[in-house]
Amino acid sequence: MPPGKEDLARAFFEGVLNMVEEDKPYPLSERGGAWFRAGSTIVHVGVETDFQPQRKAHPAFIVNDLDALASRLQAGGYEVKWDDALPDRRRFYTADPFGNRIEFMFDGHGFTQS
């Protein structure tokens, strides 16, 4: 993410994705950015001075209620792009507030939480 945009990261990862922010240990806390967790899923959002969004490379998350998440994202103003390239696998893409691509897949459609 760009420098100084931690509040936008919190609004997305906490407010929309229902993750919890974790304290970054010193000295990493001095670098900016934010860490988030939901169960065993951990996301570290780092700061880059010359930030460029990742539009192809992306994390993928397995979720139990894909439709509810899609609705929350859309209600928050985030575009949801459903993808049917993989038969029998429900999934969609969105972007975080900084334009980074994120994929969400339904648990049990070829992918499972372990």
What does the pLDDT look like over 9-30, one tens digit per residue? 999 999 999 999 999 999 999 9
Q: Which residues of 70-87 are buried (b: 16+ CB within 10 A; e: fewer)?
A: bebbeeeebeeeeeeeee
Alpha-carbon gap, residue 28 to 33, rounded angstroms: 9
Residue range 52-76: average pLDDT?
Answer: 94
Q: For residue 53, how many other CB atoms are within 10 A of its CB?
A: 13
pLDDT at residue 87 above 90?
Answer: no
Q: For residue 45, how many other CB atoms are within 10 A of its CB?
A: 21
- What per-residue confidence (pLDDT) applies to 91? 95
Domains of the chain listed by start with CATH number: 1-49 (3.10.180.10), 52-114 (3.10.180.10)
> pLDDT-derived band of residue 112, with 50, 70 and 90 as boundaries?
low
